[in-house]
Amino acid sequence: MRLSELAESIGIDYRGEERRIRGLGTLKGATCEELSFLDNPKYLKDLENTEAAAVLVSPRFANFVPKGTIPLVDEEPYLKLAMASAFFAPPPMKTEGAEPVIGQGSEVAPGVNFGKDVKVGKGVTIMPGCYIGDDTVIGDDTLIYPNVTLYSRTVIGKRCIIHAGTVIGSDGYGFAHTKDGKHVKLHQLGNVVIENDVEIGANCAIDRGTLDSTIIKEGVKLDNLVHVAHNCEIGEHSLITGQVGLSGSTKLGRNVVMGGQSGTAGHLEIGPFCTIAARGGVTKSIEGGKVYAGFPLMEHKRWLRLNAMLSRFLEKKK
């Protein structure tokens, strides 16, 4: 779309230089033909270095937009991004494209449904009831159990195991809110990338990225009933146990261990070689190489001392 046309469509008055906008991108990754946005001051440095054609930005941050990038100034940049995303959302299902390419030695059970332009590697096993969406790529020697759903543009590495009922690539939970309390969908334009030797348990949900990819790195093992939200990144060889929930844009370093029903807030980083005990609640970025527990989160030894003190206090009250 022409930038002036796009701006008019989302209710922004723009009469400056004309540019062609071919998509949306993050501040870090956007090209000179993409629109980006800033709504969180945490990413001001990314704004100052962006190469985006234009950026949706509130008035207080407009002066940080670099030369060569056009500021589209609005009091509600996130809402305007959500409105713009509708113009660039791909159709949910292709009507044209090539039939799937299935590698040598692969076994596809009856009842598997494929989208268009799917590529399946060698020695792959796909069991009944699976749906493999458009433009999905599955690496060699991967095993997919029954009733797994892979949304479009999902990338699965080699030697992965995906257990029954898991959904990979569903929309992230992204909505902008109007002043009168309505919710405008931010169309999720990214995908999910799963690297080699990953195992994903039954009935997990892994959301596609908003603009980029949700990434699960090499050797990660997910238990059953794990939710990974949009734009998360799980570091190599991490272990995520049952009923863990990761909020959007959480980044885990390598070899992180998360106990059952633990979870994170969004936009934070968990250092490498961390352990989060069961039901631990991570609300801010934490240093690697330590064991944490509780809510609010604290180092495990301190949490044990705190509970011992509370126990003694209650005994005295009796």
How many other C-beta atoms are found inside a 10 Å radius of the C-beta of residue 112?
17
User: Is 210 buried (19+), middle (13-18) or exposed (0-12) by CB count in 10 A?
Assistant: buried
CA 266, CA 232: separation in Å to the nearest integer? Answer: 9
Entry field: residues in the chain: 318
CA 184, CA 216: separation in Å to the nearest integer? Answer: 28
Instruction: Tokens for 286, please give them.
Output: 């934490």
CA 222, CA 235: separation in Å to the nearest integer? Answer: 12
Instruction: List residues with catalytic annotation.
Output: 230
Instruction: Collect all residues with Cβ–Cβ distance below 8 Å to 163 and sequence separation of at least 6.
Output: 145, 148, 199, 200, 201, 202, 203, 204, 224
Q: Are strands 298-299 and 291-293 parallel, antiparallel or unpaired?
A: antiparallel
116 neighbors 96 (Cβ within 8 angstroms): yes
What are the backbone dihedrals phi and psi of residue 276, each rounded to the nearest 5 degrees, phi first?
-110, 120
Residue type, 287: E
Instruction: Collect all residues with Cβ–Cβ distance below 8 Å to 182 and sequence separation of at least 6.
Output: none
